[in-house]
Structure 1
Amino acid sequence: MAEFTDPLSECEREDFSKESYLHSFVDFAVERILFEQNKYMALDVESAIDADRFENVIGKKHEVFYRYGYKYTTFELAIMHYQGCIEKMEDWIAKNITPDEFEALDVATQYTNYLEDNYYDVIDCIKNEVVYLLFQNREFLMHFNIFMSDVLLGKSDRKNVPLWVKRAVKYRDRCKCVMCQKDLSGIMDIEEQYENQYDHIVPLEDGGLNDVSNMQLMCSKCNKEKGINIYTNNIYHFYYDN
């Protein structure tokens, strides 16, 4: 984690950046995981080209999936999932590699390079999905912001909450107080009380951030009771009442 935290500890805090601290963390985590996986990308392709020859390269045959009578690598399947069709490896080889070149050229590496051109877009799709899922989980956000309050030096000043942050939090929390579940939709229509319903999960006094990942909806009564304590409620909200 030092690779993630050390650069941040030397930077000034940012207030309500659309590239939130949650985005930064997901960028780091996803790229770190995929970096480990990418070491096996060529092996994945090689095992599809010549399963017997490369069966014991990493102790066992790497993942190759059969679908519609064709051996797809895991990376091909990822690209297909997010982007639709992809040129099959055997078709790409037939189009780009002559029979005489097949033995002399590193076909696996060349096809891997072809896949990577599409795979970077897939990585961005994966990051967006992870951010979306984690943003729904306020318990995770609480622990994440406690962690970030220790990483980032100093304290944040109180700022007006941008409209895009209000909309995101209001949508996620279904316009209800996270403590008592009071419907705030009517109250939030009153402009002078609108700002008071947005609470920092980790208070600014405790080093909390002005970040969309650190905001939640709370009625005035519950907000007063919470005070400067760190609190949130429920991992997920149902979208309908039981």
Structure 2
Amino acid sequence: MLEAKFYDTYHFCNVVKNVLYHSENYLGVLNDFHGDGRIYYRLSTFNKYSILHEFIEFIVHDVYYDQSSEAALEKKQKNQEVYQDIPIALNILRPSALPIELALEHHNMPHQSFEDFLDKQNKKFIECDIDDAYEFIHTLRETGVFHELIEHISKEVFHVVFQNRDLMKNFNILMANALEHEARSETPNEIKKIFSRPGILKRVAIPVWVRRAVFFRDRGRCVLCDKDLSGQVNLENKENYDHIVPLAMHGLNDISNIQLLCKECNQHEKRAKEAVTSDNYQSWYTY
């Protein structure tokens, strides 16, 4: 059971969407996630904390650091000066509270405030600089509360974006391209066993928990032809669990790369070995 707080969850969903649909604008950021061989050390075989979870965590982490940038801090300090004689405005705006603090408060996670942190350094908020903000975040990391927050938000964002198969396709194409690029170099010895050949992962049995999650997300219907695969209408219709980006195209063994197809669509529509899905969904709401 996920206790969703939905603090900035949809903002992060939008950031993830923008990065995946406009990846050419984020090449430097994305390289820090999967470039220079990093993709190899993110590969796993159907881990519950998937590579998509890791990607979301990476994005959320980057956003919180960006929100504590020098420009953002200077803007907050200016607000502190402007409203210093208007206590009610300061109480509403709370310029001395960093975004990461507000998120921790919303999630009821005990933590030291930035003002308390500065007080121990004999500094006032109006005097601090970006190094103080980053040192504060580093302190939160050391206590473990920073990671606890990022992981929880990542699970919430995953809960939302996993519903979007087209987004899943774009994410897995991005990861497949990274894996294809690295296939030109030597595969690290410690992970060679998961490959059938350079850049191509071995086919493995899809775990029950993955099949159940995908079956419920796709509402027991073939995502391409909408055939009912629940067994309640026709026992002849058998579900097939398909890699959106085929393994032969450097696809991953990751829950984000699996969708529900009928036998016929799996045999015919995927024959070209292309990344195929649909944006048709069985509605649970009647208008």
Question: Are the aligned partners of 2:53 and 2:158 in contact in 1 as well (CA < 8 Å)?
Answer: yes
Partner in structure 1 of residue 266 of structure 2 = 223
CA drift of 1:145 comes to 0.9
Q: Partners of 2:109 and 2:52 in 1: how far apart? A: 28
Partner in structure 1 of residue 38 of structure 2 = 8
Partner in structure 1 of residue 156 of structure 2 = 129
Question: Are the aligned partners of 1:188 and 1:197 in contact in 2 as well (CA < 8 Å)?
Answer: no
Select the structure of larger CA radius of gyration.
1
Provide structure 2 residue ranges, at least 5 long, that are not aligned to the other structure. Answer: 1-29, 184-198
Partner in structure 2 of residue 150 of structure 1 = 177
Report the CA distance shift for 1:188/1:77 in structure 2 as closer, same or farther (over 3 A). farther
Q: Partners of 1:89 and 1:157 in 2: how far apart? A: 48
Letter in 1 for 2:123: D
Partner in structure 2 of residue 83 of structure 1 = 108
CA drift of 1:122 comes to 2.5
Letter in 1 for 2:283: F
Q: Partners of 1:43 and 1:106 in 2: how far apart? A: 15
User: Identity, % of aligned pairs?
Assistant: 33
Partner in structure 1 of residue 211 of structure 2 = 166
Q: Partners of 2:234 and 2:46 in 1: how far apart? A: 23
RMSD: 4.1
Report the CA distance shift for 1:139/1:210 in structure 2 as closer, same or farther (over 3 A). same
Letter in 1 for 2:261: M
Report the CA distance shift for 1:200/1:65 in structure 2 as closer, same or farther (over 3 A). farther
CA drift of 1:137 comes to 0.9
CA drift of 1:150 comes to 1.5
Match of 1:180 among 225, 233, 236: 225
Report the CA distance shift for 1:240/1:151 in structure 2 as closer, same or farther (over 3 A). same
Report the CA distance shift for 1:24/1:85 in structure 2 as closer, same or farther (over 3 A). closer
Provide structure 1 residue ranges, at least 5 long, that are not aligned to the other structure. Answer: 56-63
Per-residue CA distance 1:165-202 (angstroms, 9 max, x = gap): 11111121111111122221117997x986x5111111
Partner in structure 2 of residue 59 of structure 1 = none
Match of 1:20 among 26, 35, 50: 50
CA drift of 1:229 comes to 2.8
CA drift of 1:123 comes to 2.2
Question: Are the aligned partners of 2:211 and 2:241 in contact in 1 as well (CA < 8 Å)?
Answer: yes
Report the CA distance shift for 1:13/1:89 in structure 2 as closer, same or farther (over 3 A). closer
CA drift of 1:135 comes to 1.0
Q: Partners of 1:85 and 1:9 in 2: how far apart? A: 34
Q: Partners of 1:124 and 1:41 in 2: how far apart? A: 27
Question: Are the aligned partners of 2:44 and 2:253 in contact in 1 as well (CA < 8 Å)?
Answer: yes
Per-residue CA distance 1:12-66 (angstroms, 9 max, x = gap): 8432122322122112222122222233599389749x811799xxxxxxxx875
CA drift of 1:85 comes to 8.8
Question: Are the aligned partners of 2:244 and 2:259 in contact in 1 as well (CA < 8 Å)?
Answer: yes
Question: Are the aligned partners of 2:223 and 2:281 in contact in 1 as well (CA < 8 Å)?
Answer: no
Q: Partners of 2:264 and 2:90 in 1: how far apart? A: 56
- Between stretches 109-118 and 223-232, larger displacement belongs to 109-118
Partner in structure 1 of residue 279 of structure 2 = 234
Question: Are the aligned partners of 2:244 and 2:276 in contact in 1 as well (CA < 8 Å)?
Answer: yes
Letter in 2 for 1:78: A
Q: Partners of 2:262 and 2:55 in 1: how far apart? A: 30
- Between stretches 72-81 and 153-162, larger displacement belongs to 72-81
Report the CA distance shift for 1:25/1:12 in structure 2 as closer, same or farther (over 3 A). closer
